[in-house]
Structure 1
Amino acid sequence: MMSRLVLLSTLLLASPALAQSAPPKKTVLTTFTILADMARSVAGDRLNVVSLTRPGAEIHGYQFTPSDIVRAQKADLILNNGLNLELWFARFTRQLRGVPTVTLTEGIKPISIAADAYRGKPNPHAWMSPKNALIYVENIRRAFVKLDPAGAAIFNRNATRYSAEIRQVDAMLARQLATVPQNQRALVTCEGAFSYLARDYGLREFYLWPVNAEEGQGTPRQVRSVIDAVRKNRVPAVFCESTVPLSGMQQVARETGARFGGVLYVDSLTDARGPVPTYLDLLRKDAATIVKGLTGK
C-alpha cells in the first residue's frame, strides 16, 4: 500500500495537470437557437454554448422568465441578434449585473421594412443571407477571442472552416434557385422574413405581415392584399413559416388556386430529430422547399 501511495504522489508531482482539474468552460448564452448553432460552430468544445429559447420557439415576442434571468446571470457572455428582433432584450439585460453582451448584426447593412407599422424599420432576419452570416461568424469569433484569449487559435480555425461551409451553401443555393423560371420567381410567405434571401437570389417577395407580433397578423386586409398579388403575378405556390399559424396562407392558396408549397424555417431550428437541426440545414431545406413548390418538381 505504501509503495502505491508513493507512486501516486510521484505522478502528481511530475504532472501538475493530474493534480488539479481543468478550469470550467465559460458559458455563452444566445437569445435563440440559430445563434447558438453558429456560436457552437465557432466555439467547438472550448466553450459551453446554450440558447435561451428552445427549438421551435418564437423569438420576436418571447416572454422571459425568472429562471431565464438566473441562467443569464451565470453566463460569461450573451449574444443577441439586434435589429429589433428581440424587442424584450433591453428589459432582460436591465435585470443583469456585469454580464457582457454582443450584438451579432453589427456591421450588417439592414433592409428596411416597407409596409404597415414597421415601415422604415430594419428587417431583423439578416441571417437568412449566407453573405450576412459570414459577418455573424466574424462577430462571434472576435467576441470569443476577447472572452477567452487562450482559445483564440481554436476560434480562428473553427471560424475559417465554418465560413467556408457557409460559402459552399451560398453557392449551392444560388444554383438551386436559378433553376426556377423567371416568371415564377416570386416568394410568398406569412412573415416578411425572407427579404435578404430574396435579394441575394433574385426573387420577388410578398408576405401577409412584415414581422411576427401578437397583434396584426393575418388580418383580412393583409390576406386580401396577398390574394390580389398572387393572382396578378400568377404565383404558382405560397409558403408559411414553422413558428406561426398556417391558416391565413392556406386561405390564400384556396382562393387563388396556388399550391401550398410547404413550411419554411426562419426563426428557429428544430431539435436533432427534426429537419433543420443546424443553420446550414435550415438554408438547404428552405431552398429545396422553395424550388419544389415553385416548379412542382
Structure 2
Amino acid sequence: MLAVLAVGCAGEPDSGRRGTGPYEGSGPIRVVCSTGMVGEVVGRVGGDRVEVTALMGEGVDPHLYKPSPGDILALSRADMIVFSGLHLEGKMGEIFDRLGRSKPSVPLADGIAAGSLLETSGGQVDPHVWFDVSLWAEVVDAARDALAGFDPPYASQYAQNAEAYRDELIRLDAEVRGQVAAIPESRRLLVTAHDAFGYFGRAYGIEVQAIQGISTESEAGVHEINALVDLLVERGVPAVFVEASVSDRNVRALVEGCEARGHRVRVGGELFSDSMGPAGTLEGTYVGMVRHNVSTITEALR
C-alpha cells in the first residue's frame, strides 16, 4: 500500500497544498469518496461530469475502516478525492493528506463554521454532521466550490446542480422537524449504540443518549449500561435502537437490564448511522436513509 501511495505522489513536493488543478482531461472526472453520503453529494453536484466511487459501502464503520490494496489503487488513480473530514475516517485521513499533495483532496465538513460543530466532554469534534440535514446542506456548497475550482469551464453546471440538491435537503429538513414534533415530549429520548445522533438531537429537539462515544473504538462499561437502564426505567421509554454499522451486543444488554428491573423495552428498529443502506434501495440514498431513520424513531417512540 505504501508503495502505491509513493507512486501516486511521486514527483510532487510536499507543499502542504490540497491538490494541483485545474483538470486537464476530457472527463468524466474520477472522484473517489470515503462514504456513501459524501459520494451522493459529489454525484448530485457533479452530475454527468463525474464518475464517483465510494470506498465505504453498506454496514461499514468509517471509524475503524482499513483500506484494501484495491482501495489504495483506486485512490492513487483518482483525479480527485473527497471525504467527510472532522476525523470521521480515522487513520484514512493520513492517506488522504498524503495523496492531497498531488491531487485535490477535499474534506467537505471541515469548512463548517466551528460554532456549528458539537464537541464531546473530551474536546473531540463530533463528525456526524449529516444528521442535521440543514447543516449537511452546507457541504453541498463545499462540493460545488471544489469541483468548480478544479473544472472551471463547468462551474455554472455545478452551481445549478448544487442549488437543486440543496433545495431538496432544505425541504427534507422541514419534513423531519414535523415528524419529530409529533412524538410526545416525555418520550423524546433516543438511545442508540454509539453517539452518532448528537446533531440530530440538537436540530430536532430530541434528547440523545448512547452507550459508546462518538467513535466505535471506545468501549462501553457496565457503569454506562447500568446508568442508561436507570434512565429508561425512570422515563418509561418504550424502545431503544440498534445501528446497521455497529454491533447490537450492548443494546441487547440494555434490553435485558430493563427486563430485570421489570420494565419492558424493545428494539425499535435498525438505524443507519455511519453508512447508508444497500445500493439501489431507497435507504441507499441520503434522503431515503434520513426518512427511514426518522420513520423508525417516531413510530417506535410514539
Of 79, 100, 105 in structure 2, the residue corresponding to residue 101 of structure 1 is 105
The one-letter amino acid paired with 1:48 is E
> Offset of 1:202 from its aligned partner?
0.6
Partner of 2:5: none
> SS where residue 48 of structure 2 aligns?
coil
Matched, 1:62 2:65: yes
Partner of 1:135: 138
> Offset of 1:94 from its aligned partner?
5.3
> Offset of 1:102 from its aligned partner?
1.2
Partner of 2:19: none
Q: For the residues of structure 2 that align with 1:187 and 1:90, how far apart are their CA atoms?
A: 30
Q: Deviations over 1:134-182 (max 9, x none)?
A: 1110100100101111111211111111011101111110111100001
Partner of 1:14: none
Q: 1:233 to 1:175 in 2, by over 3 A?
A: same
Q: For the residues of structure 2 that align with 1:164 and 1:268, how far apart are their CA atoms?
A: 23
User: Which one has the largest radius of gyration?
Assistant: 1
> SS where residue 296 of structure 2 aligns?
helix
> Offset of 1:93 from its aligned partner?
3.0
Q: For the residues of structure 2 that align with 1:237 and 1:254, how far apart are their CA atoms?
A: 12
Q: 1:289 to 1:103 in 2, by over 3 A?
A: same
Q: Is the 8 A contact 1:69 1:95 kept in 2?
A: no
Matched, 1:281 2:288: yes
> Offset of 1:240 from its aligned partner?
1.7
Partner of 1:260: 267
Q: For the residues of structure 1 that align with 2:58 and 2:233, how far apart are their CA atoms?
A: 35
Partner of 2:41: 38
> SS where residue 269 of structure 2 aligns?
strand
| RMSD between superposed Cα atoms in Å | 1.7
Uncovered stretches (5+) of structure 1, i.e. residues with no partner:
1-21
Q: Is the 8 A contact 1:64 1:92 kept in 2?
A: no
Of 233, 242, 245 in structure 2, the residue corresponding to residue 243 of structure 1 is 245
The one-letter amino acid paired with 2:84 is N
Q: For the residues of structure 1 that align with 2:97 and 2:46, how far apart are their CA atoms?
A: 27
Q: Is the 8 A contact 2:65 2:92 kept in 1?
A: no
Uncovered stretches (5+) of structure 2, i.e. residues with no partner:
1-24, 259-263
Q: Deviations over 1:162-216 (max 9, x none)?
A: 0111011111101111000011111111111000010011111111011233451
> Offset of 1:23 from its aligned partner?
2.3
Q: For the residues of structure 1 that align with 2:216 and 2:279, how far apart are their CA atoms?
A: 27
> Offset of 1:28 from its aligned partner?
1.1
Matched, 1:210 2:213: yes
Aligned-residue sequence identity (percent) comes to: 28
